[in-house]
Amino acid sequence: MNIIEVRNLYKSYPKPGNKKESFNAVDGITFNIKVGEVYGILGPNGAGKTTTLEMLEGLNDIESGSALIDGLDVSNNAFKVKEIIGVQLQANEYFDRLDLTELLILFGKLYSQEIDSEVLLKKVDLLDKSNAKPEELSGGQKQRFSIACALVNNPKILFLDEPTTGLDPQAKRNLWNLVKELNAAGMTIVLTTHNMEEAETLCNRIAIMDQGKLIVEDTPQGLIQKYASQPLQAPLHGNIEDVFLTLTGHKLRD
């Protein structure tokens, strides 16, 4: 069953440097996401990944085409859609002078829900930081807290926009485990990433976007078989990241 159905989605912006002309940031894309899937959107910078997510999240107006989330048309039911999705944005800053517990309670209130901040903090492994301010957290902790905020309404779908950009390998793997746990509990997850290993490890299916168009969509294995079935060079060994992790251990550093 599809929980997200996107048909012919368009979004145009004025061209940078030449405001009179416009370009299609998202150029007529169509895809479906099934319940319980981890769906990855890949693509170089400026491919239209974030714009696509923002249209699904109701942050950005849909210019033409349609997007159904859990049967709701996003254009007409933005507020209802917002109630069943959780969103982690690329920028994750919060109101000053509030600690993690206070922020989570505030986010709960935004969904008219009384939440147990300890349960959420425990889920993202930040229970010992409940009285810390977000700016006192490390990059990985910040991302995990940002996911905790996205979970306050126990969403059906979780949107993650480049969740591991800028994280060290330990924090990255830790976040992957968190995503896997949430998915195992039944949550549908849509994520964008530049990290190919992340896409391969986490995603059930991957869509690759370029210049606003969705150029290919399949399972990671399917894509590899189709486009890279002949290894350029047989991997005789692991990569430098494996070296790094062997030497520094898998234990989280923050």
Residues that bind another protein (CB under 8 A): 57-61, 79-80, 82-83, 85, 87, 89-98, 102, 106-107, 109-112, 149, 153
Cα(4)–Cα(150) distance, integer angstroms? 18
Q: How far apart, in whole angstroms, are the C-alpha atoms of residue 135 and residue 100? A: 10
Smallest gap from residue 50 Cβ to another protein (A)? 11
Between 61 and 242, whose beta carbon lies closer to another protein? 61
Nearer to another protein among residue 80 and residue 123 (C-beta):
80
Q: And the tokens for 233?
A: 């060079």
Nearer to another protein, 60 or 130 (CB): 60
Q: Please list the residues that pair with 87 across neighbouring strands.
A: 159
Question: In sequence order, what E strands does the chain have?
Answer: 2-15, 18-34, 38-42, 64-69, 72-73, 85-88, 157-161, 188-193, 205-210, 213-218
Least separation in angstroms between CB 108 and another protein: 9
Residue 134 CB, nearest approach to another protein (Å): 11
Residue 87 Cβ vs another protein, minimum distance, rounded to whole Å: 4
Please say which residue, 105 or 252, places its beta carbon nearer to another protein: 105
What angle do the packed helices 139-150 and 100-110 form, to 10 degrees?
Answer: 30
Closest CA to 124 of 149, 102, 160: 149
Q: Which is nearer to another protein, 59 or 245 (CB)?
A: 59
Min dist CB 189 to another protein, Å, is: 16
